[in-house]
Amino acid sequence: MDCLFCKIGNGEIPAKKIFEDDKVMAFLDIHPQSNGHILIILKKHVKDFMDLDEEDLVHIHKIAQKMTKLLEEKLHITGLSLTTNYLDLQEIKHYHLHLIPRKAGKIKDISEIYDILKQ
């Protein structure tokens, strides 16, 4: 299988990892919509949210809560959107959840944001 997110999840392709456990990985989006734009992926290949089992769905959202707290503490965000694309809107056919902070300001280099979040 030639899946970008599977390759990131198993370490074949580097990412600015913010969190990782045995089931998921959270990392900075390389084309962020805002500072601190995080993707959460399952390490196993699941095509889309309709194929998620309840255990994975709950786990991903627990990690989303954890990442949201991190963004609040480190970047002082004032709002956040959780987004999942489906069907034609899903560019990469591997389930992923976007955490998109909503705060005014010029988008910074992801390396700078990574350093802030990893402090």
Catalytic residue ranges: 96
Per-residue burial over 74-105, b = 16 or more CB atoms within 10 Å of its CB, e = otherwise:
ebebeebeeeeeeeeeeeeebbbbbbbbeeee
- Counting Cα atoms < 13 Å in the Cβ hemisphere of 65 gives 5
C-alpha 37/C-alpha 12 separation (Å) is 22
C-alpha 75/C-alpha 45 separation (Å) is 31
Helix (H, G, I), strand (E, B) or coil at 97: strand
The pairing of strands 17-20 and 96-101 is unpaired
